[in-house]
Amino acid sequence: MINQHYLSMLGNKSVIRELSEYATARGKEIGYENVFDYSLGNPSVPAPEVYKETAIRLLAESDPMKLHGYSPSTGHPEAKAKVAAALSRRYGIDYKACHIFPTAGAAGAIAHAVRAVTTPGDEVIVFAPFFPEYIPYINDTGAQIKIVPAHFPDFQINFEAFEEMLSEKVAAVLINSPNNPSGVVYTEETLLRLADILRERSAAYGHNIFLISDEPYREIVFDGKKVPYTAKFYDHTLTCYSYSKSQSVPGERIGYIAVNPAAEEADKLDAVFAQISRGIGHNCPTSIVTQVMGEIPDATSDLSVYETNMNLLYDALTELGFTVNRPDGTFYIFPKALEDDAVAFCRKAMKYDLILVPANGFYAPGYFRIAFCTDTEKVKRSLPVFKKFVEAEYR
Amino acid sequence: MINQHYLSMLGNKSVIRELSEYATARGKEIGYENVFDYSLGNPSVPAPEVYKETAIRLLAESDPMKLHGYSPSTGHPEAKAKVAAALSRRYGIDYKACHIFPTAGAAGAIAHAVRAVTTPGDEVIVFAPFFPEYIPYINDTGAQIKIVPAHFPDFQINFEAFEEMLSEKVAAVLINSPNNPSGVVYTEETLLRLADILRERSAAYGHNIFLISDEPYREIVFDGKKVPYTAKFYDHTLTCYSYSKSQSVPGERIGYIAVNPAAEEADKLDAVFAQISRGIGHNCPTSIVTQVMGEIPDATSDLSVYETNMNLLYDALTELGFTVNRPDGTFYIFPKALEDDAVAFCRKAMKYDLILVPANGFYAPGYFRIAFCTDTEKVKRSLPVFKKFVEAEYR
């Protein structure tokens, strides 16, 4: 008999997915170029040329037994060492190969990290607004997600609510900066205060609260900003990274967990992650893609289009009277809707073929997300449509 | 705090892994060519040339946005359709794209299949001898593994014990033919009888018992034999396949679940598998490797070396007086040890640098496994060593 829990999940399609499917269907009616589909966070620039060159070189020149062979269960040793060296150079933390565990993107990284540092029944705190897939990543381990309400209007951390929610049951805290959906980068001040609280409470409770830091947008920042590196602020940090956005290879499912060498049991954690993989039958990511990662750990696509698009949208939305933070990074902008009910707002926008995502699923009702990973030309064409929509519906 | 369950698993290294590590260490002392390492089931022939050609062609000619982009959560549609068509041609079952779910090898396939058709507390029956990793694949879902003792000496199914073990709590039965470690292919007679019992008991219990058929060795058969295709015998069959052995790409982690179109909820199961993937953060296998699978679903390496090695070992072991079935397929041979304690037997063999795996972990004590995926030249050199070992220790 089919598992009823999973079967019942089939009804609950994600809102983002539904909107994206609507946009595709509508595109078939009126031409996809006429649908301003801002629903999905799917990179809109190609992988860097060096990605292709490296993969072809490995295929053409490597011994196929070595290229396609089993990795040890803790991951491909040379690729681990190369990623560790690249991170050490960049952030001045002394990562060794054993601190890097290759994963199937950030999703695999987060799900492994949560399983490694929780026991069923433990709590994991996240901060609104957050990526809704965190819910299955956490709850399917047997741990329980606890949601700290958003800190309006800057979308840093609501420390008051956070401190109230902390208890002995909390095993880990999961953050995401640069943030999907808000586009906000947590400031040094935010990270210092967060780390202080975690150290204090870890001491009080007699166990280390782990900080799981989801950083797939680390390379996409605007206005010359720097993203403070979370692991520098707190020893027990598991950094979850994905190449999906920075190298535009989301289908290749490649990323890693970087364990801060100062964390509890840091040298053993890759072996713990490997045990978790056994139970889900996942094992290591694909060998060839892992080896490409090892060859070009710091390569990125040309990401400049995202800043161009952000500037266009930020200026236009501000001009139209939206309340909106200027995004620090990511390819999202996160304005307040023009009525309290963001779902109604986004439904009205659909009449103009503007596909926007209400932020209820991100636990920030009243806001909506624009994923501006699209051609700049299309962003430009959408601006008068936004104007028409706002003037017709809200003036 | 680190999860104590996974931490405690670190102590329990697999016997096979330990033996393989010993062989590597010993190889450093005396030269690896002098260690007859029959421990690991790791393919010893390269991937077919067409694998490399196909991957390079896709990289060189495809739009990178399409090649490296997200798949739908149910898997890459074109690759699914192509695998379905190839299976339909080969086995005359009318698979459609929705019946194929790409997975991270057979491990991912089995773990997903078990989760899909069980609820925590259910039982899953396996038949000794079996691959020990079935234990975490099953038990980590919350279901419970139940082991039917081996049927000596032919290693078909012990139906008497099986029928006793069946109950309302049994949700699925997991088989593996050609079998690791016995090398045996289940006969048509075995599969007919198994299917009859499953139909009978499904009716009696009021729920369909699923048959999960693990078939990574399907392409490695000897003496011109045919492997009966399990799904032809029973509607509710989930066929778990991996390209690790047939295409010699175990590191690429690619395979699939093929859902018999006649199975319960057959058209919905890929969506159920996709929900399972969400919870473990695994999502789809790597995009490029999935697309290569779609291009060359029936390609295999030159697998003839395994039959050559089998013949050499079977003749020599028989000559030395071992009780041993002639393997029907795989790259394993599974003789009875020359004393009751196979662990002691294998320990003595180590003195001669013969690395054999006692079958206690496969739930067939008294037997041992030889994984003959190695150079024929080395197999030949090992034969006088077997002779010397047997004559010195057991004559």
Residue A188 has a pLDDT of 98
Report the gap between the CA of A92 and the closest CA in chain B (Å).
25
**Residue A129 tokens, joined:** 């607004």
User: Is the pLDDT confidence value at A21 over 90?
Assistant: no
User: Is the pLDDT confidence value at A37 over 90?
Assistant: yes
- What does the alpha-carbon distance between residue B230 and residue B178 come to, in Å, rounded to a whole number? 11
pLDDT per residue over A346-375, tens digit each?
Answer: 999 999 999 999 999 999 999 999 999 999
Which of A3, A67, A280 faces B117 most closely, judged by CB atoms? Answer: A3
Closest residue by Cα to residue B82 from B299, B286, B243, B295: B295
Rounded to the nearest integer, the mean pLDDT of chain A is 95
Confidence class for position A39, pLDDT limits 50, 70, 90: very high
Rounded to the nearest integer, the mean pLDDT of chain B is 95
Which strands, in side-by-side order, build the sheet including A357-358? A332-333, A368-371, A357-358
Closest residue by Cα to residue A386 from A342, A357, A352: A352
DSSP A221: B
Residue carrying structure tokens 């009080």: A204
Q: What is the dotted CATH code of the domain comprising A72-295?
A: 3.40.640.10
Best to test chain A binding among B4, B44, B66, B70 (most A CBs inside 10 Å): B70
User: Is the pLDDT confidence value at A1 over 90?
Assistant: no
- What does the alpha-carbon distance between residue A368 and residue A322 come to, in Å, rounded to a whole number? 11
> In chain A, what residues touch B59 (CB-CB under 8 Å)?
52, 55-56, 59
pLDDT per residue over A111-164, tens digit each?
Answer: 999 999 999 999 999 999 999 999 999 998 999 999 999 999 999 999 999 999
Domain boundaries, chain B: 4-47+302-394, 71-295
* Class (C level, CATH) for B4-47+302-394: alpha beta
> In chain A, what residues touch B251 (CB-CB under 8 Å)?
67-71, 76, 284, 286-288
pLDDT per residue over B62-81, tens digit each?
Answer: 999 999 998 888 999 999 99
Residue A14 has a pLDDT of 74
- What does the alpha-carbon distance between residue A181 and residue B64 come to, in Å, rounded to a whole number? 26
> In chain B, what residues touch A44 (CB-CB under 8 Å)?
65
Alpha helices in chain A (DSSP H): 4-9, 15-30, 49-61, 64-67, 77-91, 105-117, 134-139, 159-165, 188-205, 269-280, 287-295, 304-319, 342-350, 376-394
Residue A17 has a pLDDT of 79
Q: Are strands A100-103 and B237-242 parallel, antiparallel or unpaired?
A: unpaired
Which of B68, B137, B265 faces A281 most closely, judged by CB atoms? Answer: B137
Minimum Cα–Cα distance from A61: chain B residue: B52
* Class (C level, CATH) for B71-295: alpha beta
Compute the C-alpha angle B304/B289/B24, nearest 5°. 55
Residue B18 has a pLDDT of 83
pLDDT per residue over A157-205, tens digit each?
Answer: 999 999 999 999 999 999 999 999 999 999 999 999 999 999 999 999 9
User: Is the pLDDT confidence value at B376 over 80?
Assistant: yes
Per the CB < 8 Å rule, is A111 touching B268? no
> In chain A, what residues touch B117 (CB-CB under 8 Å)?
1-3
pLDDT per residue over A367-377, tens digit each?
Answer: 999 999 999 99
> Is residue A197 left, alpha or beta, with left meaning phi > 0 and alpha meaning psi from -120 to 50?
alpha
Per the CB < 8 Å rule, is A68 touching B286? no
pLDDT per residue over A263-307, tens digit each?
Answer: 999 999 999 999 999 888 787 899 999 999 999 999 999 999 999
What's the complex ipTM? 0.94
Report the gap between the CA of A168 and the closest CA in chain B (Å).
12
Number of Cβ pairs closer than 8 Å across A and B? 239
Cα-based distances in Å from A200 to A169, A194, A259, A298, A327: 15, 10, 21, 35, 31
Q: Which residues of chain B from 170 to 189 reach within 8 Å of chain A, CB to CB?
A: 171
Best to test chain A binding among B283, B296, B305, B375 (most A CBs inside 10 Å): B283
Report the gap between the CA of B334 and the closest CA in chain A (Å).
23
